[in-house]
Amino acid sequence: MNTFGNIFRLTSFGESHGEAIGGVIDGCPAGIFIDKEFIQNELDRRKPGQSDLTTSRKEPDQVEFLSGIYEGKTTGTPIGFIVRNNNQHSSDYDNLKDVFRPSHADYTYQQKYGHRDHRGGGRSSARETIARVVGGAIAKLALKESGIVITAYTSQVGSIRLEKPDAELDFNAIEQTPVRCPDLETARQMIERIQQIKAEGDTIGGVITCVCRGVPAGLGEPVFGKLHAALGSAMLSINAAKGFEYGLGFEGVQYKGSEVNDLFYRKPDGSAGTKTNHSGGIQGGISNGEPVYFRVAFKPVATLLMEQPTIDRSGNETVVKVKGRHDPCVLPRAVPIVEAMAAMTILDYKLLAKA
Amino acid sequence: MNTFGNIFRLTSFGESHGEAIGGVIDGCPAGIFIDKEFIQNELDRRKPGQSDLTTSRKEPDQVEFLSGIYEGKTTGTPIGFIVRNNNQHSSDYDNLKDVFRPSHADYTYQQKYGHRDHRGGGRSSARETIARVVGGAIAKLALKESGIVITAYTSQVGSIRLEKPDAELDFNAIEQTPVRCPDLETARQMIERIQQIKAEGDTIGGVITCVCRGVPAGLGEPVFGKLHAALGSAMLSINAAKGFEYGLGFEGVQYKGSEVNDLFYRKPDGSAGTKTNHSGGIQGGISNGEPVYFRVAFKPVATLLMEQPTIDRSGNETVVKVKGRHDPCVLPRAVPIVEAMAAMTILDYKLLAKA
Amino acid sequence: MNTFGNIFRLTSFGESHGEAIGGVIDGCPAGIFIDKEFIQNELDRRKPGQSDLTTSRKEPDQVEFLSGIYEGKTTGTPIGFIVRNNNQHSSDYDNLKDVFRPSHADYTYQQKYGHRDHRGGGRSSARETIARVVGGAIAKLALKESGIVITAYTSQVGSIRLEKPDAELDFNAIEQTPVRCPDLETARQMIERIQQIKAEGDTIGGVITCVCRGVPAGLGEPVFGKLHAALGSAMLSINAAKGFEYGLGFEGVQYKGSEVNDLFYRKPDGSAGTKTNHSGGIQGGISNGEPVYFRVAFKPVATLLMEQPTIDRSGNETVVKVKGRHDPCVLPRAVPIVEAMAAMTILDYKLLAKA
Amino acid sequence: MNTFGNIFRLTSFGESHGEAIGGVIDGCPAGIFIDKEFIQNELDRRKPGQSDLTTSRKEPDQVEFLSGIYEGKTTGTPIGFIVRNNNQHSSDYDNLKDVFRPSHADYTYQQKYGHRDHRGGGRSSARETIARVVGGAIAKLALKESGIVITAYTSQVGSIRLEKPDAELDFNAIEQTPVRCPDLETARQMIERIQQIKAEGDTIGGVITCVCRGVPAGLGEPVFGKLHAALGSAMLSINAAKGFEYGLGFEGVQYKGSEVNDLFYRKPDGSAGTKTNHSGGIQGGISNGEPVYFRVAFKPVATLLMEQPTIDRSGNETVVKVKGRHDPCVLPRAVPIVEAMAAMTILDYKLLAKA
Would the CB atoms of B1 and A317 count as touching at under 8 Å? no
Q: Are strands B63-65 and B20-26 parallel, antiparallel or unpaired?
A: unpaired
Mutation target among B6, B12, B16, B24 for the C interface, most CBs of C within 10 A: B24
Q: Give D-chain residues touching C109 at CB under 8 angstroms.
A: 222, 284, 286
Q: C344 CB contacts (<8 Å, ≥6 apart)?
A: C4, C5, C8, C10, C132, C135, C136, C139, C234
Selecting from C1, C13, C23 the residue whose C-beta is nearest the C-beta of B68 gives C13
Q: Give D-chain residues touching A112 at CB under 8 angstroms.
A: 76
Most confident of A85-94, B49-58, B103-112, C67-76: C67-76
Confidence of residue D220 (pLDDT cuts 50, 70, 90): very high
Q: How far is CA A171 from CA A51, A151, A166, B226, C67, in A?
A: 20, 8, 9, 31, 46
Name the helix (H) or strand (E) containing D11.
Answer: strand D9-13
Q: How far is CA C200 from CA C69, C197, D105, in A?
A: 47, 5, 50
Would the CB atoms of C354 and A355 count as touching at under 8 Å? yes
Q: Are strands D9-13 and D20-26 parallel, antiparallel or unpaired?
A: antiparallel
Cβ–Cβ < 8 Å for C105, C124 = yes
Selecting from C26, C66, C116 the residue whose C-beta is nearest the C-beta of B75 gives C116
> Quick check: helix, strand or coil at residue C294?
strand
The alpha-carbon gap from B241 to the nearest alpha carbon of chain A, in Å, equals 8
Confidence of residue A19 (pLDDT cuts 50, 70, 90): very high
pTM equals 0.96
Enumerate residue ranges in chain B where pLDDT < 50: none
CB neighbourhood size of D90 (10 A):
13
Please name the residue of chain C whose CA is at the shortest distance from the CA of residue D327. C257
Q: Which residues of C touch A (CB under 8 A)?
A: 7, 27, 77, 222, 351-352, 354-355
The alpha-carbon gap from C20 to the nearest alpha carbon of chain B, in Å, equals 6
Q: Give B-chain residues touching C24 at CB under 8 angstroms.
A: 2, 11-13, 22-24
Burial grade of D251 (CB within 10 A; 0-12, 13-18, 19 or more):
middle
- The 3-state secondary structure of A247-302 reads CCHHHHHHCEHHHHCCCEEECCCCCEEECCCCCCCEECCEECCCCEEEEEEECCCC
Would the CB atoms of D352 and B352 count as touching at under 8 Å? no
Amino acid D52: pLDDT: 79
Give the integer Cα–Cα distance in Å for D245 and C232.
10
Would the CB atoms of B13 and C77 count as touching at under 8 Å? yes
Q: How far is CA C134 from CA B26, C10, C72, C91, in A?
A: 19, 9, 16, 29
Domain edges within chain B: 3-354
Burial grade of C145 (CB within 10 A; 0-12, 13-18, 19 or more):
exposed
In whole numbers, what is the pLDDT of chain D averaged over residues?
Answer: 94
Q: Give B-chain residues touching C123 at CB under 8 angstroms.
A: 67, 75, 77-78
The alpha-carbon gap from D22 to the nearest alpha carbon of chain B, in Å, equals 21
> Quick check: helix, strand or coil at residue B113?
helix
Q: Give A-chain residues touching D31 at CB under 8 angstroms.
A: 113-115
Cβ–Cβ < 8 Å for A74, A30 = yes
Q: A264 CB contacts (<8 Å, ≥6 apart)?
A: A272, A273, A274, A275, B100, B102, B107, B309, B310, B311
Cβ–Cβ < 8 Å for D224, C4 = yes
Q: D264 CB contacts (<8 Å, ≥6 apart)?
A: C100, C102, C107, C309, C310, C311, D272, D273, D274, D275
Name the residue among C89, C91, C71, C67 with its Cα closest to residue C80: C67
Q: Give C-chain residues touching B77 at CB under 8 angstroms.
A: 2, 13, 15, 113, 117, 122-123
Q: D234 CB contacts (<8 Å, ≥6 apart)?
A: C229, D4, D341, D342, D344, D345
Confidence of residue C96 (pLDDT cuts 50, 70, 90): confident
DSSP B190-249: HHHHHHHHHHTT--B-EEEEEEEESPPTT-S-SGGG-HHHHHHHHHHTSTTEEEEEETTG
Cβ–Cβ < 8 Å for C162, C183 = yes
Cβ–Cβ < 8 Å for B182, B169 = yes
Per DSSP, what are the bridge partners of residue B149? B213
Per DSSP, what are the bridge partners of residue C297? C207, C243
Q: Which CATH architecture has domain A3-354?
A: 4-Layer Sandwich (3.60)
Q: Give A-chain residues touching B298 at CB under 8 angstroms.
A: 253
Q: C196 CB contacts (<8 Å, ≥6 apart)?
A: none
Cβ–Cβ < 8 Å for C90, C290 = no
Selecting from B7, B77, B222 the residue whose C-beta is nearest the C-beta of D355 gives B7
pLDDT 10s digits, A184-232: 999 999 999 999 999 999 999 999 999 999 999 999 998 999 999 999 9
Does the pLDDT of residue C13 top 80, yes or no?
yes
Give the integer Cα–Cα distance in Å for A225 and A215.
17
The alpha-carbon gap from C246 to the nearest alpha carbon of chain B, in Å, equals 32
CB neighbourhood size of B244 (10 A):
31
Cα-atom radius of gyration of chain D, to the nearest Å? 21
Would the CB atoms of D19 and A66 count as touching at under 8 Å? yes
Q: Give C-chain residues touching B71 at CB under 8 angstroms.
A: 115
Amino acid D341: pLDDT: 98
Confidence of residue D94 (pLDDT cuts 50, 70, 90): confident
Does the pLDDT of residue A247 top 80, yes or no?
yes
Q: Give B-chain residues touching C122 at CB under 8 angstroms.
A: 70, 75, 77
Would the CB atoms of C66 and B18 count as touching at under 8 Å? yes
Distance in Å from the first CA to the final CA of chain C? 24
Mutation target among C13, C96, C159, C254 for the D interface, most CBs of D within 10 A: C254
Does the pLDDT of residue A144 top 90, yes or no?
yes
pLDDT 10s digits, A306-319: 899 999 988 899 99
pLDDT 10s digits, D174-217: 999 999 999 999 999 999 999 999 999 999 999 999 999 999 99
Confidence of residue C48 (pLDDT cuts 50, 70, 90): confident
Q: What type of residue sits at position A222? A: P
Give the integer Cα–Cα distance in Å for A247 and B285.
25
Q: What type of residue sits at position A130? A: I
Would the CB atoms of A236 and B228 count as touching at under 8 Å? yes
Burial grade of C314 (CB within 10 A; 0-12, 13-18, 19 or more):
exposed
In whole numbers, what is the pLDDT of chain C averaged over residues?
Answer: 94
User: Subunits with at least 3 CB pairs below 8 A relative to chain C?
Assistant: A, B, D
Would the CB atoms of C354 and A352 count as touching at under 8 Å? no
Cβ–Cβ < 8 Å for C53, C195 = yes
What are the DSSP E strand ranges found in A35-128? 63-65, 69-70, 73-74, 79-84
Which whole number is the average pLDDT over C20-36?
A: 97
pLDDT 10s digits, A38-84: 999 999 999 888 887 877 777 789 999 999 999 999 999 999 999 99
Give the integer Cα–Cα distance in Å for A176 and D45.
56
Does the pLDDT of residue C176 top 90, yes or no?
yes
Q: How far is CA B251 from CA A325, B211, B230, C310, in A?
A: 27, 18, 21, 67
Q: C5 CB contacts (<8 Å, ≥6 apart)?
A: C27, C344, C345, C348
pLDDT 10s digits, C237-248: 999 999 999 999
Which whole number is the average pLDDT over A155-165?
A: 96
What are the DSSP E strand ranges found in chain B? 3-4, 9-13, 20-26, 63-65, 69-70, 73-74, 79-84, 149-157, 160-161, 206-213, 241-246, 264-266, 272-274, 282-283, 286-287, 292-298, 308-311, 317-320
Would the CB atoms of A2 and D70 count as touching at under 8 Å? no
Selecting from A22, A27, A80 the residue whose C-beta is nearest the C-beta of D14 gives A80
Residues A208/A212/A213/A217 CA torsion (nearest 10 deg):
-150
Selecting from C27, C222, C354 the residue whose C-beta is nearest the C-beta of A354 gives C354
> Quick check: helix, strand or coil at residue A240?
coil
User: Subunits with at least 3 CB pairs below 8 A relative to chain A?
Assistant: B, C, D
Would the CB atoms of A77 and C352 count as touching at under 8 Å? no
Please report the number of interchain residue pairs, chain A to chain C, with beta-carbon separation below 8 angstroms.
14
Burial grade of A285 (CB within 10 A; 0-12, 13-18, 19 or more):
buried
Amino acid A222: pLDDT: 87
Q: A255 CB contacts (<8 Å, ≥6 apart)?
A: A248, B158, B204, B205, B300
Q: Are strands A73-74 and A69-70 parallel, antiparallel or unpaired?
A: antiparallel
ipTM: 0.96
Q: Give D-chain residues touching B27 at CB under 8 angstroms.
A: 355
Q: Give A-chain residues touching D351 at CB under 8 angstroms.
A: none
Confidence of residue D91 (pLDDT cuts 50, 70, 90): confident
Cβ–Cβ < 8 Å for D43, D130 = yes
CB neighbourhood size of A319 (10 A):
9
Would the CB atoms of C11 and B24 count as touching at under 8 Å? yes
Would the CB atoms of A354 and C352 count as touching at under 8 Å? no
Selecting from C104, C217, C224 the residue whose C-beta is nearest the C-beta of D3 gives C224
Does the pLDDT of residue C59 top 80, yes or no?
no
CA B122, distance to chain mean position in Å, is: 19
Amino acid A355: pLDDT: 87
Cβ–Cβ < 8 Å for B12, B239 = no
DSSP B24-35: EEESPPTT-B--
Would the CB atoms of A352 and C355 count as touching at under 8 Å? yes
Give the integer Cα–Cα distance in Å for D195 and D114.
38
Would the CB atoms of D103 and C283 count as touching at under 8 Å? yes
Which whole number is the average pLDDT over C1-27?
A: 96
DSSP D338: H
Query: Cα angle at A79 between A73 and A85, to 5 degrees?
Result: 120
Give the integer Cα–Cα distance in Å for B33 and D344.
34
> Quick check: helix, strand or coil at residue A168?
helix
Cβ–Cβ < 8 Å for C5, B28 = no
The alpha-carbon gap from C81 to the nearest alpha carbon of chain B, in Å, equals 9
Would the CB atoms of B27 and D355 count as touching at under 8 Å? yes
Q: Give C-chain residues touching D288 at CB under 8 angstroms.
A: 107-108, 111
Task: State what percent of residues in chain A have pLDDT above 90.
Answer: 80
Would the CB atoms of A222 and C77 count as touching at under 8 Å? yes
Task: State what percent of residues in chain C have pLDDT above 70.
Answer: 99
Which whole number is the average pLDDT over D305-314?
A: 90
Which of B352 and C58 is assigned the larger pLDDT?
B352
Give the integer Cα–Cα distance in Å for A48 and D89.
40
Q: Give A-chain residues touching C27 at CB under 8 angstroms.
A: 355
Q: Which residues of B touch D (CB under 8 A)?
A: 7, 27, 77, 222, 351-352, 354-355
Name the residue among A239, D355, A9, A115 with its Cα closest to residue B349: D355
The alpha-carbon gap from D43 to the nearest alpha carbon of chain A, in Å, equals 20
